[in-house]
Amino acid sequence: MKILVAGLKKNSQLLRLQEEGKKRGHVVQGCLASELKTFASSEEFIPEITGKSLKSYDLIYLMVSKRRWEWYMAAYYLKKTKGTIIVNNKVIDSSFPMYLTPVSDYFRQREKRLPFPKSVVIYSSKYVEYIESKISYPMVIKPISGRQGRDVIKISSQKELLEGVDKILKNSIACVIREFIPNDGDIRVFTVGYKAVGAMKRIPKKGDFRSNISQGGTGINYDLKDKEEVRRIAEKAAFVVQTEIAGVDIIIDKNTGKPYILEINPSPQFAGIEKFTSSNIALEIIKYFEKLYETTG
């Protein structure tokens, strides 16, 4: 099988997928999202990347940022005309066009009674009083398309809220505000094919509330064998938003012991979970690709 990972190039995650893919007889290649070029005329529609035809791939794993509409159109065309396998398929499935924003995730989680913190999404700092009517301090604010804990801010006053929202909206179309739930770190559950294949607990560095490894947090193995509720919530969350390969972040309220879903990441990094646990995430992903190929072939 020939596999393209769109959105990864020359990094450790791609190297791990190439390593595990090669062991099982597959070719795994990567490209940057910016390498996509599309030629269109009344006779032709040709999406390609630098030096390669996209038609040569059996499977394309889309790790490009959300709302990369040209990539989604290319993937739709390839699946329709060639039968190319697309992961995550939801980006081209007309049944799931809504699953590409946090608000749609919240809607689906509420529909299925999955627990998550109270959240508000706004486009302007004019709505501070509205936010305060829905959520008590302290709060956490972040860009609507933030990644790896960047620009995530904990705030405790109206002044901080105004300043934080204004700062975020300078570089983001919208801002997410959610209630802060006291915890001692989050749990990253990695799901493949809607099944949990590994988990780690991420502990913030001293003086920070963010648990992201990229922000200085550390990880330890989190055994799901005796944490059935966490496993169930993570697997159900991935399925509800139709994300075949997901990093589901869950926190446990220190006061009540209740779990909450923080985020369902459709382009999860797995270097950290492989480093801090015995999980072979790259192998699990390759095996899932094989299953899809066998099913469609």
User: Any idea what the CATH number is for the domain that residue 77 is in?
Assistant: 3.40.50.20
**Whole-number Å distance between alpha carbons of 213 and 249:** 13
Answer whether residue 295 is part of any domain. Answer: no
Cα angle value 91/22/58 (rounded, 5°): 35
Q: Which of 263, 178, 187 is nearest to 221 (CA)?
A: 187
- For the chain, what's the residue count? 297
> What tens digit of pLDDT does each residue of 148-202 get?
557 788 999 999 999 999 999 998 889 999 999 999 889 999 999 999 999 999 8
User: Could you report how far apart the first and last alpha carbons of the chain are, in Å?
Assistant: 11
pLDDT (0 to 100) of residue 155: 93
pLDDT (0 to 100) of residue 215: 57
**Whether residue 56 sits in one domain with residue 6:** yes
Q: What's the longest Cα–Cα distance across the chain?
A: 63
Average pLDDT, the chain: 90
Q: What total number of domains does the chain contain?
A: 3
Answer whether residue 285 is part of any domain. Answer: yes
- Phi first, then psi: what are they for 244, rounded to 5°? -65, -40
Sort strands 85-87 and 59-62 into parallel, antiparallel or unpaired.
parallel
| Exposed / middle / buried, residue 88 (Cβ in 10 Å: 0-12, 13-18, 19+) | buried
**Whether residue 262 sits in one domain with residue 198:** yes
Which run of H or of E encompasses 204?
A: none
**Whether residue 122 sits in one domain with residue 172:** yes
**Whole-number Å distance between alpha carbons of 59 and 122:** 37
**Whether residue 125 sits in one domain with residue 89:** no
Domain span at residue 76 reads: 2-96
**Whether residue 195 sits in one domain with residue 141:** no
55, 77 in Cβ contact below 8 A? no
* Stated pTM of the model: 0.90
> What tens digit of pLDDT does each residue of 239-263 get?
999 999 999 999 999 999 999 999 9
CATH of residue 124's domain is: 3.30.1490.20
Which mean pLDDT values do the consecutive 10-residue runs of the chain (297 residues) have? 94 96 98 93 92 92 84 94 93 67 86 95 90 95 74 91 92 92 93 97 71 68 92 96 95 96 92 92 98 89
pLDDT (0 to 100) of residue 147: 62
Answer whether residue 227 is part of any domain. Answer: yes
**Whether residue 207 sits in one domain with residue 172:** no
